[in-house]
A and B are shown apart, each in its own frame.
Chain A
């Protein structure tokens, strides 16, 4: 018996083939690396691709779903080309972090956890980025922007947009 498998034709499974081919005898112990590579290749974890992972590796779809929802790093919905993360930690908070978040919301026109309609930006907040000395701090595609002020937000975001494809 297998769960209802959605039509995978709309997504290129060639990328998945390459990922699975690079792992010898993929099994439950390889699940996290597989998910990381799938996300890197597809930008997020598309359901049909995960169902294909289940079919091909014998890892149950329920287990894949459990792991994918457990880790913050995995996305089950399409993700923006750039990921903007803003710190909500104590140090950032006292140094004006909430203002940065407010400005980001206005600049991007979305709430934390959402993605812009043009799929350019996904905006998230983080409990602490661990860079308190730089507070308030935000990160775009892995690049840290410390000692932020709400005035700089617009410029940083525009620079990221023109910098082309980012990395989540």
Chain B
């Protein structure tokens, strides 16, 4: 970008074309006061506080809207300018009826800071009459509170809702002195288009918008901020936990503008879902079940008991009769220690975790096609993609902050968006094309798109020739698979399939974004392979803003996979069946290791039924709600001889345990999480753990030592050092290096800068491999008795089994319980009205829930979120598995519904 030289306050500065005076000044540490500016927003110049003097210009200009020009001479602090600013502040103060002494924002308020700097007097203007507070759009809202008296009408809340979140929930109403912020028709916020992201709070320069729950719990000036990583989805947003040191309570969650990867933006869960940390139901002491009831125990009693039982079971039935479930919620260090415990101490590879249930097919599919199974590109690159193809990802609900980048790509940068999803998800609003394929028919859809791309010769022939294998076979197999054929399977009109193929193949850079809608099928691996085919066919891989981008669902599911909480690989995807690798780990861990790969999650539960698994050790997972076919899963939990659960709450699963051990949560320990774009980021201790609970790795080390294998580390950082020494893709990671900004693997050594996108110039496996995949129907098809296709998934407000989100009053207010979505016409035929209690059943079970009647789902299809222990969707789901990845088919089963 061409450089522009200007002078500010006598200092020569070099900026870029298109930069504003304000931006360049800020970059160089020159503070120009402003109240209506936020780097995330289009500047409006409305507060007039950033006025500066530009030589040769008649009057002062607003620095936030004025672009720099060569030779410009700017003065930001002349007497005249300062006098104008002071008057503006005094005028604003006239409307601002707040009092700093009782304001929560005290200490973090931009307005207060300028008022002090400019020594304004609030006595210059007659004070406006104090009026009784009247109800506004946030009255009664548990999340957000708007205080009109503190509002300076800068409009930032309205603009961020429109420009960044793109929900347009807010507006100014009335005019002149009557202006206030409100929703359309002053409806309560929760009934508007608001998604409770709280971006409005994050941009508010005063205390006018604030978290309701944080009010009165400590003024900003007294709060201590700890930078850490959000514990919810895989986006890995950087958050600051604001703790009141007097009470040790997390008062509020903020996020700094400019941080990677979320630029100060958060979703409802990150901003309002942290109440679980200090919740009264947290486990505080070990529990041992005696005669069916839990009794508190000391750590010594509990670990002695566990060590004794595990040793006995191992002696009697061999190490393979024990299985461990690690956790995508725990840190990298804890996952590493856990799999080391199962492999080196127990002596089996029976270790797995919930990635099996979400992206096992991604790991299997992408590893086959490209050589490594992770998001190929970075979140930030989505903004500049010319085309984004979203398939099977309800991004704005499951990965809300990534959805912001997608919306920005479309609205601000002109990207063409294709959404393939059986439901009319929110992102359809921004799409050029919505393909509502029948659940479970993705392979047919993608194959037909490739048929069009090959037939119309809009493929990238050079890329195919130079970088891939297997094209001829693929082309042969797809020759007759026309969009018309696919129409019969997918119900998508052939012309739409053609259009999608042309848009995707025709764009200069096309990114594929996918998630559980692709992976959670018996054909999950096939689906992933098909997407890999599509990207290679058009050369949309190994380049910036392209790629095949699986969005990972848990904060550290990427890391748990990376660190070997999988039955077939050691940390860094190093095969347990490779003798050289085995020897390396045997040497490092000084222990003989098993060369036989272990069982996967669902296989472990099935092995309990056959008596092959006698003991299970579950760290931070809740299979009693998250696994498919719950009746069967819960029976296995009951059946297993010995069950240890390590958790932060007495979860549905913990209730089946023989011993429950209390854990520290993300806010109470140090470590790292790896986000969906392979970025390893720090988490840090902000508050002490409750009672006697402690970090999972400490517990495992202790237990391991009791079982005769000494494991001890001074700190989580030292575990990372051991990880780096054994895991090539993490080779260059250390707590020092990732202190301020995380690093993306592969990061091979201390000097490696990390990897923004994979497969540049060369695939991990050498050449990319096309896999010929043909359409296979889901395991279960609707029939006479069960005529509906039931699909399950997430919704915005809740996370997984709700153990964390359901502790938040703000979230419970908008999402009190579960529901089933049914099409308006189907509901009409069955006499079901919105809000009716209905019974949904499959051959495996039935649940009672509420009906949500909508036009956003296809006729004959049902959708249920799986977060709710009352009416759990997984009572209904099928435990049929993908043959390669062993992922269950959460997304399709045959069901029926009736009014209860």
Contacts and interface: CB of A to CB of B under 8 A. Distances in A.
B174 A3 contact: no
A3 B168 CA distance: 10
A62 B195 contact: no
Given A47-B185, A60-B162, A61-B184, A66 B192 contact: no
B167 A1 contact: yes
B167 A63 contact: no
Given A1-B167, A1-B195, A62 B183 contact: yes
B184 A3 contact: yes
A91 interface: no
Contacts of B184: 3, 54, 60-62, 64-65
Nearest to A76: B185
Nearest to B425: A1
Q: Chain A, interface size: which category?
A: 10 to 19
Contacts of A64: 184
B193 interface: yes
A4 B186 CA distance: 12
Contacts of B125: none
A59 to B, nearest CB: 9
Contact of A69 (B170, B173, B191, B193): B173
Contacts of A60: 162, 168, 171, 184, 193
A3 B172 contact: no
Nearest to A64: B184
Nearest to B188: A4
B41 interface: no
B169 interface: yes
B462 interface: no
A25 interface: no
Contacts of A7: none
B192 A62 contact: yes
B187 A3 contact: yes
Interface string B173-197: 1110000001111010001110100
Interface string A36-56: 000000000001001000100
A54 B174 CA distance: 19
A82 to B, nearest CB: 25
B426 interface: yes
A1 B193 contact: yes
A2 interface: yes
- Most central of B162, B171, B191 by chain A CB within 10 Å: B171
Q: Is the interface of B mostly helix, strand, loop or mixed?
A: mixed
Given A3-B184, A47-B185, A60-B162, A66 B172 contact: yes
Interface string A1-35: 11110000000000000000000000000000000
A64 B171 CA distance: 9
A65 B173 CA distance: 7
Contacts of A47: 185
A1 B426 contact: yes
A66 B172 CA distance: 5
A64 B168 CA distance: 11
A13 to B, nearest CB: 18
A66 B179 CA distance: 10
B166 to A, nearest CB: 10
Contact of B170 (A2, A50, A62, A70): A62
B173 A4 contact: no
A126 to B, nearest CB: 15
Given A1-B195, A70-B175, A65 B167 contact: no
A4 B171 contact: no
A143 B192 CA distance: 41
Nearest to B192: A3
Contacts of A66: 171-173
A63 B161 CA distance: 12
Interchain residue pairs A-B with the least CB separation, the first 8: A60-B168, A66-B171, A61-B184, A62-B171, A69-B173, A65-B184, A62-B184, A4-B191
Given A3-B193, A50-B185, A70-B172, 7 more contacts: A60-B162, A60-B184, A62-B170, A62-B193, A63-B171, A64-B184, A65-B185
18 contacts: A1-B193, A1-B426, A3-B183, A3-B192, A4-B187, A47-B185, A54-B184, A60-B171, A61-B168, A61-B184, A61-B193, A62-B170, A62-B183, A62-B184, A62-B193, A65-B182, A65-B185, A69-B174
